[in-house]
Structure 1
């Protein structure tokens, strides 16, 4: 089986010729709310995605139930011949809540186009990524009759809340989902170099809530000197967990087992450092300072370091004017990013022990989610090399490679190398107001998916050549 250079170019040409159709399909999906955190619109969105996939030629696209969660959409592409490898295409159709709504310049579910940019929740994360896989396969079928590798689609509806039902689903359907490698397209390009990013691993997430209640009800602040304040007590607890100045987690044995970057990882970091623009990054983030003045250490922390982050803190009165009270209770939500070697369930037990040992038994600790299996894949894997080459081919530049988001759970049931990349704009406002996807970037993303199929076939199929 052979493939001439003109075949992939013909696929690219087909994608360009049908760009308006692809954009229309994406806007249809974006107009359907699908907020997993609030259980809004998930069933309808799953059926919308199924219909769009079938209309694109994925005849067996099918929503399958999970045990208590939203449906997972599965589908397949047979590939050009029986001896080709199988690539699992992972994505998620659920999105973050759009709030605060007042900061959006248009309806977050309107998929409005302004100056060639689509604005909608899910435009980058991750509805465009799901459909890029499907549109690339559609183009391949139109040009060559079939995709050069066998494809299996898995699009879930709970990624934004930690995929609590995905592991069980994959175990139940592992025979159907067997693959040689997997790829996800979820996110944007590097914020300062504008080069595509390729992630060869994932940090797992531990998400918790701390609750402190010191009084039966809010009371007059004239008695503050007599009472224990819930917010101050919670702040005391938080500063025992992590150093706010350095970010170092102070829980005993927290870093035990952490997998440190190897020589390949450090080489990737040095390459990224050459293109890192500190001032531009700070401008984009609206930041006055960063966690260290050492740019190499900064990138190392970002890609390989553990973190303790406060997502939200609630207590007392925060309305207009003044209200002189001692708040009765305080609550904080936190996420801990756990690199390879730090399993979230074990880190949660360490946190429990920390609270007990430091006398914080008056503070309630709740486990919201412990997303399993932080992982790391070798840069020498076929799927990694194929993604590097596809990025170079489509974007005209080598990607930024990070040695270390949900394929880790799939790998528990189906061991395989997994890679994550993306194609959104640098300032895509992922998870924020006015999330967006430039149309030109979306078309480029479809070509990226097609090039990954092509390059993976080159790496794995005897007789397939340029």
Structure 2
């Protein structure tokens, strides 16, 4: 059967690339109301792709914001049911001047397809849709049942997804979830991701005088500067060795088994390669841990942005200052507990002369670890190895995919993370791309997986 699969995708490669380009051309930026019309157009485009693939009951559900697109094929009684999740919204493309080609005019260079959303997540969900289309065209049926749930608000925290999943549990019930929204370890280094960090986002607002004041006159030296106060607060959260100084921050962090640390140390990863890729002076992180351990198995607290005061040479004492902070969390940290400890730390370290407000952006998202001994997850590694011809790695990911923990808890099912992106794919930056090697091998890997799934569930 795989020989037929190979011939199918070889013959349709040019057509499939053009279809993916059409998908990328839709500027489905969920973070800005300026793209509202394009968001709905993209949802319709996704529905059209599902129809074309041979799926049924295709529908755009309203979830209070942008549509969630659903479709299914349910003609395999007694066989497992798989839920495939993805998203059609993308990050903003700015700064546009840093793109070598326009972000929504996809272009192929050096065996890479460049464009916003090429990897996150249009290219990867496109692989799934077209794989199902191929199997239905080649065999007329599937050896399993399948449901697609493709949302349009992942890049803004998926506010409508959890309520939708809870309200439609019967519709979406499955034996397994499969998601391709992660990266491999590197080019031709396939990897199954078995853990994701959780996420807590916090806004810190510091208020001093009622209005901006001149820094001379009788004000300079007479009132607290909110920016100074904010810098003091932020500096108090981490020590010089990279360890987070918020009391209780690490209380629930589980020790990493020595076997896992040895496995991570054995991965084909070198700090020098990362320094070169980032063009950074050097790496930095929590003392006592390797780079991969810091990025995957340790929690973080990062300052994402600071603003306040005037522009240029304005000599003022600003009335307010603001910062955005995010924490990546690991098992068994709870976002609400960490928020409470962070808020208490800020209260205890607030300098005189200002008032500080701390706001959680949402309830936060818990970390997730998958049961890596589950047969359906082991099959993912087998599929990679069969198509790529090299050993598959087992990795964690430093990022967060909130829906993973929700699906696992709500439906009590394993979640398989089969990513086809690359670590340097620039998924949230200029010149995002999708490797054409992974475009070609991704179809075949997924077909291998689907064709053998029934035997391991």
Above 0.5 in TM-score?
yes
Q: Secondary structure at 2:236's aligned position in 1?
A: helix
Partner of 2:190: 196
CA distance in 2, matches of 1:44, 1:9: 37
Partner of 1:29: 23
Aligned residue among 324, 337, 340 for 1:333: 324
Pair 1:447-2:423 in alignment:
no
Q: How far does residue 296 in structure 1 lie from its aligned partner after superposition?
A: 6.1
CA distance in 1, matches of 2:439, 2:408: 28
Partner of 2:153: 158
Moved more, 294-303 or 361-370: 294-303
Partner of 1:63: 60
Q: Is the 8 A contact 1:261 1:403 kept in 2?
A: no
Q: Is the 8 A contact 2:329 2:366 kept in 1?
A: no
Q: Secondary structure at 2:290's aligned position in 1?
A: helix
Partner of 2:105: 110
Q: Residues 432-443 of structure 1: matches in 2 within 5 Å?
A: 432-443=429-440
Moved more, 9-18 or 350-359: 350-359
CA distance in 2, matches of 1:369, 1:287: 33
In 2 relative to 1, CA 260–84 (structure 1 residues): closer, same or farther, beyond 3 Å? farther
Q: Secondary structure at 1:330's aligned position in 2?
A: strand
CA distance in 2, matches of 1:262, 1:138: 42
Pair 1:225-2:218 in alignment:
no
Q: Secondary structure at 2:31's aligned position in 1?
A: helix
- The Cα offsets for residues 410-459 of structure 1, whole Å up to 9 and x where unpaired, read as 22311111122311244311100111123332222222222222343342
Q: Secondary structure at 1:247's aligned position in 2?
A: coil
In 2 relative to 1, CA 42–395 (structure 1 residues): closer, same or farther, beyond 3 Å? same
Q: Residues 247-326 of structure 1: matches in 2 within 5 Å?
A: 247-262=242-257, 265-272=260-267, 275-292=268-285, 297-319=290-312, 322-326=313-317
In 2 relative to 1, CA 294–355 (structure 1 residues): closer, same or farther, beyond 3 Å? closer
In 2 relative to 1, CA 282–421 (structure 1 residues): closer, same or farther, beyond 3 Å? farther
Partner of 2:334: 343
In 2 relative to 1, CA 270–117 (structure 1 residues): closer, same or farther, beyond 3 Å? closer
Partner of 1:94: 89
Q: Residues 205-224 of structure 1: matches in 2 within 5 Å?
A: 205-222=199-216, 223-224=219-220
CA distance in 2, matches of 1:73, 1:247: 43
In 2 relative to 1, CA 345–280 (structure 1 residues): closer, same or farther, beyond 3 Å? same
In 2 relative to 1, CA 306–292 (structure 1 residues): closer, same or farther, beyond 3 Å? closer
Q: Is the 8 A contact 1:247 1:307 kept in 2?
A: no
Relative to the length of structure 1, the TM-score reads 0.89
Aligned-residue Cα RMSD (Å) equals 2.2
Pair 1:73-2:64 in alignment:
no
Pair 1:126-2:117 in alignment:
no
- The Cα offsets for residues 236-293 of structure 1, whole Å up to 9 and x where unpaired, read as 11122223x3332222222222233335533531332xx1121111111122111259
CA distance in 2, matches of 1:355, 1:206: 16
Q: How far does residue 316 in structure 1 lie from its aligned partner after superposition?
A: 2.3
Aligned residue among 427, 431, 434 for 2:428: 431
Aligned residue among 223, 226, 232 for 1:236: 232
In 2 relative to 1, CA 333–455 (structure 1 residues): closer, same or farther, beyond 3 Å? farther
Q: Secondary structure at 2:163's aligned position in 1?
A: helix
CA distance in 1, matches of 2:74, 2:6: 21
Pair 1:167-2:158 in alignment:
no
Moved more, 285-294 or 432-441: 285-294
Q: How far does residue 323 in structure 1 lie from its aligned partner after superposition?
A: 2.9
CA distance in 2, matches of 1:268, 1:389: 18
Q: Secondary structure at 2:56's aligned position in 1?
A: coil
Relative to the length of structure 2, the TM-score reads 0.91
In 2 relative to 1, CA 85–24 (structure 1 residues): closer, same or farther, beyond 3 Å? same
Pair 1:397-2:390 in alignment:
yes
Where does the alignment leave 5 or more consecutive residues of structure 2 unmatched? none
Q: How far does residue 377 in structure 1 lie from its aligned partner after superposition?
A: 1.4
Q: Is the 8 A contact 1:25 1:52 kept in 2?
A: no
Where does the alignment leave 5 or more consecutive residues of structure 1 unmatched? 1-6, 461-466
CA distance in 2, matches of 1:384, 1:283: 33
Q: Is the 8 A contact 1:208 1:334 kept in 2?
A: yes
How many residues are paired up?
446
Q: Residues 359-398 of structure 1: matches in 2 within 5 Å?
A: 359=350, 362-398=355-391
CA distance in 1, matches of 2:302, 2:285: 16
In 2 relative to 1, CA 295–181 (structure 1 residues): closer, same or farther, beyond 3 Å? farther
Q: Is the 8 A contact 2:101 2:107 kept in 1?
A: yes
